[in-house]
Amino acid sequence: MIISVCGAADLGKSYLCSSLVETLQHQGYHVAHLPLDSYLMSREQRINHGISGYDTEAYDFATIIKNLTAFKVGKEFSFTPYNHEGGTKQEQHEIIGKNDILLLDGLHAMDPRLMGSIDFTIFIHTDDARLRNIRREADLIKRKQQPELSEKFEPVEFQKYKRFVEPYKQRANLVLYLQLKWQYEVRVTDA
């Protein structure tokens, strides 16, 4: 089974997946976590191409699909985690073998090209003001950006989120509304 966790940057998708891995493993399931950022171009490449992580062309979807297909048939695959502080891939590959559940998290974890492999979807959402504040804080702390750079790109990044990512929410099986950091309100949908 593949569970997709989607939503804007920095709302706690990876944190939620880590918590789910721990909970499900305690219940006897074999669970792996795959961050979609592992298939993301480096920050330098994205800047050179004039695209952001909110643009789907920043991701290697062919390899993502290949790896999800391998998981579905019980084959192992490798991936290279992304380092947000440096904006590059880490040096070490990680391997995901046969598991009961794969948690896939990322901005485009509900992209239509992936939905044929995904069994259940979760979308994390919050109000626009909170989202902007969280993003600004993450730019400074997590990405080590200068405040001027964060302010320069924030309006464009926000518009891209609204255009490319937020629409996934309408198709989610479960919507989690972020009230405070790591505190969610559950909203079940008809998807």
* More confident position, 16 or 190: 16
Q: Which helix (H) or strand (E) holds 159?
A: helix 147-160
Task: Calculate mean pLDDT across residues 160-167.
Answer: 91
Instruction: Please name which of 109, 118, 100, 147 lies closest in space to residue 2, comparing C-alpha atoms.
Output: 118
pLDDT tens digits for range 7-65: 987 788 888 999 999 999 999 999 999 999 999 999 899 989 989 888 999 999 999 99
- Asked if pLDDT for residue 91 goes beyond 90, the answer is no
**Domain locations in the chain as residue ranges:** 2-188
Task: Calculate mean pLDDT across residues 146-175.
Answer: 81
Q: Are 42 and 109 in contact (CB under 8 A)?
A: no
Range 2-188 classified under CATH 3.50.50.60: no
* Residue 112 phi, psi dihedral angles, 5° rounding: -55, -30
* Residue 108 phi, psi dihedral angles, 5° rounding: -115, 35
